[in-house]
Amino acid sequence: MANFAVTAVPRADSVRPSSGLTRTRLWGLPAGWWFVAPALAIIFVFFLAPIGASVALSFTDFDIYALADYAIVVASDAEKGGTWAGATETLKAKWVPVFVLDHPAMPEGNRLLLQKGGLRFPHPFPEHPSQLQAWLAAQAAQVKPEPFQPKLF
């Protein structure tokens, strides 16, 4: 008898990849997509979050104060910080009346803002909270806002 060996060779179209993920589909998409999609969504959100914040901060002070009836400063550093800058700019431009919280332990910035023309907002408030709007209107009547026409270009 003759010695011989038999070897079975599969056809190329019947060979499956070892992971099987390329042929598995969930809701019409390859299964691997469901691992990548959340990562892409997170990257997209964290890419757009700083852009959205910069757009929100791009509003000028005039845009913000034009929407307000009053400005109330609770605490401000002296000669530095955003609260100081916004309050002094508003006092100078007279867009809206600026109220400054007045109490014994107030920061130095509050004292300086009162000297620059800010209106006193007593703490604690002497009347019932329901009277706050009327009280602010009566106090603000002391200061007349100056008309302001912003430049277009």
Distance CA 66, CA 61 (A): 8
Among 21-25, 42-46, 100-104, 142-146, name the most confident range.
100-104
Give the contacts of 77 (CB within 8 A, at least 6 positions apart): 83, 84, 107, 108, 109
Q: Is 98 left (phi over 0), alpha (psi -120 to 50) or beta?
A: beta
Do 77 and 42 fall within a single domain?
A: no
Among 43-47, 49-53, 130-134, name the most confident range.
130-134
At residue 10 the predicted structure's pLDDT band, cuts being 50, 70 and 90, is low
Distance CA 6, CA 9 (A): 10
Do 51 and 82 fall within a single domain?
A: no
The more confidently predicted of residues 2 and 105 is: 105
Digit-coded pLDDT (tens) for 55-87:
766 666 566 666 778 888 998 888 888 888 888
Distance CA 83, CA 22 (A): 58
pLDDT at 7: 59
Do 38 and 65 fall within a single domain?
A: no
Q: Which of 24-28, 102-106, 116-120 has the lowest mean pLDDT?
A: 24-28
- Tell me the residue range of the domain where 52 lies: 29-57
Of the candidates 136, 145, 60, which has an alpha carbon nearest to the alpha carbon of residue 99? 136
User: Does the residue 22 lie in any domain?
Assistant: no
| Confidence check: pLDDT of 3 > 80 | no
Put simply, whether the predicted model's pTM sits higher than 0.85 gets the answer no
Give the contacts of 152 (CB within 8 A, at least 6 positions apart): none
| Confidence check: pLDDT of 100 > 90 | yes
Do 45 and 88 fall within a single domain?
A: no
